[in-house]
């Protein structure tokens, strides 16, 4: 196929060649030409099968990402010797249920991690990933799953980090958040603060309890994030930690105070709940101090 033509010419020819003639280009001496064939969504299964053992990494990756790749070829590439090929195969949007089951059983935890972040997983795959031995897989599943049953299972995970990740899933219910508020792990309780910030409408009594939480992280983010009530910020304004108390006081500045605009951004999610501007989360303690009355 090489003859006297240049690689660029052969690549162009492979890109416009008929499906029937692709097999000849698949055996070309140039990896660039073979990659062009591997990327053709109309390439036959036999042509793509001939390329799954190609010595060129990019060629195998092109086969793995081809939306027309046959199921058996995709499953084979999930065990490729290079992680790039394996993960490209795991991300293939045309993966069949059988291919997804193979991903779920893959020895490479990163393949399972990619799978865990995909929507619409069958119930049995979601349940299996919820029991995965790797924390990162379960954590990704907790954040991305669109299954209420999987969320419920992960809220009962023995690892508090997983319970916390499940707590910020958009499917979590207010009763589930109320249960998390009593969790022994700070990350699980912190999830309640973030969920409330995202308009989950956590009951005020639970927010008042979190304002007195033993964890600095929980109180700090409750003071920084919009969504609580004035009573919550008043408690936090007297927090023993200066960073928490200083930030909380910003919510209590009179709306007509000219300093209340400095270092703030508007857009409180529920003005009826407080109606004050939202402080910059990234503000430094010195910046916050300059906003307080009398400083």
pLDDT tens readout for residues 29-55: 999 999 999 999 999 999 999 999 999
Please give the share of the chain, as a percent, with pLDDT higher than 70: 85
In angstroms, rounded to a whole number, what is the distance separating the alpha carbons of residues 76 and 211?
Answer: 53
Domain boundaries, the chain: 1-95, 173-295
What was the pLDDT predicted at 255? 64
Identify the weakest region by mean pLDDT among 110-119, 149-158, 168-177, 220-229. 220-229
Helix, strand, or coil (residue 25)? helix
Lowest-confidence segment of 68-77, 167-176, 236-245, 286-295 by average pLDDT? 286-295
Q: Which of 130 and 259 is assigned the larger pLDDT? A: 130
Q: Is 159 exposed, middle or buried (0-12, 13-18, 19+ CB in 10 A)?
A: middle
Q: Which of 112-116, 153-157, 281-285 has the lowest mean pLDDT?
A: 281-285
What average pLDDT score do residues 266-273 get?
44
pLDDT tens per residue, range 189-221: 999 999 998 877 899 999 999 999 999 999 999
Give domain 1-95's CATH architecture: Alpha Horseshoe (1.25)
Prediction pTM value = 0.80
Q: Are strands 278-279 and 264-265 parallel, antiparallel or unpaired?
A: antiparallel
Q: Under a CB-based contact definition with an 8 Å cutoff, are residues 184 and 213 in contact? A: no
Q: How distant, in Å, are the alpha carbons of 68, 82, 87, 89, 100 from that of 94?
A: 7, 21, 14, 10, 10
- Write out the two tokens for 49: 């099968």
Whether the Cβ atoms of residue 90 and residue 96 lie closer than 8 Å to each other: no
């Amino acid at each position: 196929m090489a003859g006297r033509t240049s690689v660029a010419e052969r690549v162009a020819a492979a890109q416009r060649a008929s499906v029937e003639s692709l097999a000849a280009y698949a055996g070309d001496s140039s990896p660039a030409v073979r990659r062009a064939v591997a990327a053709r969504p109309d390439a036959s299964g036999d042509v793509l099968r001939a390329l799954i053992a190609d010595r060129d990494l990019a060629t195998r990756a092109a086969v793995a990402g081809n939306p027309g790749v046959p199921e058996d070829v995709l499953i084979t590439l999930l065990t490729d010797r290079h992680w790039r090929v394996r993960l490209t195969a795991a991300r293939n949007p045309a993966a069949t249920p059988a291919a997804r089951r193979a991903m779920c059983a893959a020895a490479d935890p990163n393949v399972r991690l990619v799978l865990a972040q995909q929507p619409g997983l069958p119930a049995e795959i979601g349940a299996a990933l919820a029991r995965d031995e790797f924390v990162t897989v379960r954590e990704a599943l907790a954040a991305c799953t669109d299954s209420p049953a999987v969320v419920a299972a992960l809220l009962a995970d023995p690892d508090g980090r997983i319970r916390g990740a499940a707590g910020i899933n958009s499917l979590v219910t207010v009763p589930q958040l109320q249960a998390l508020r009593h969790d022994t792990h700070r990350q699980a309780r912190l999830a309640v603060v973030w969920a409330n910030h995202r308009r989950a409408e956590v009951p005020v009594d639970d927010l008042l309890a979190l304002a007195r939480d033993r964890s600095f992280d929980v109180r700090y983010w409750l003071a920084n994030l919009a969504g609580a009530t004035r009573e919550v910020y008043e408690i936090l304004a007297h927090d023993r930690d200066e960073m928490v108390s200083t930030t909380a006081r910003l919510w209590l500045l009179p709306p007509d105070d000219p300093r209340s605009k400095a270092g703030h951004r508007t857009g409180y999610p529920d003005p009826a709940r407080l109606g004050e501007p939202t402080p910059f989360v990234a503000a430094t303690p010195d910046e916050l101090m300059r906003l307080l009355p009398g400083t």
